[in-house]
């Protein structure tokens, strides 16, 4: 018989728009071990803009640059976790959450 209790997974594991935190955080709703990202909408994009800009070299090759502040604003918007709660997160979890947010915003896959 399987248990419904969530099991801890490494923070590196990013799966199905869910990030498992290396260390749980406390929110007004209780302990949070996983951040679930919803699909980004046009309204979200109009509100925050693009988390990625591009620089072009002399050969026309594009180099993407991630705006971390915008990426982290997307984390709060797409997960519902407020900034105060995010301050409890380990830096590595914050970086992974920002990367996940950029992936969700820039994704062609609507899932």
Beta strands (DSSP E) in 5-51 are: 14-15, 18-27, 30-36
Residue-wise pLDDT tens digits, 21-49: 999 999 988 999 999 999 999 999 999 99
Predicted TM-score (pTM) of the model is 0.79
| pLDDT for residue 111 is more than 60 | no
Residue-wise pLDDT tens digits, 67-100: 999 999 999 999 999 999 999 999 999 999 999 9
- Mean pLDDT on 18-22: 96
Q: What's the rounded Cα separation, in Å, for the pair 67 and 74?
A: 11
Nearest Cα neighbor of 75 from 60, 61, 54, 89 is 89
Residue-wise pLDDT tens digits, 42-51: 999 999 999 9
């Amino acid at each position: 018989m399987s248990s419904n209790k969530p099991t801890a997974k490494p923070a590196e594991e990013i799966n199905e728009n869910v990030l498992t935190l290396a260390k749980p955080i406390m929110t007004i709703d209780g302990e949070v071990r996983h951040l679930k990202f919803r699909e980004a909408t046009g309204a979200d994009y109009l509100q925050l803009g693009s988390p990625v800009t591009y620089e072009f070299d002399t050969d026309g090759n594009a180099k993407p640059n991630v705006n971390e502040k915008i990426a982290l604003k997307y984390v709060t918007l797409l997960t519902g976790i407020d900034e105060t709660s995010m301050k409890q997160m380990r830096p590595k979890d914050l970086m992974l959450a920002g990367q996940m947010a950029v992936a969700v915003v820039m994704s062609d896959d609507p899932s």
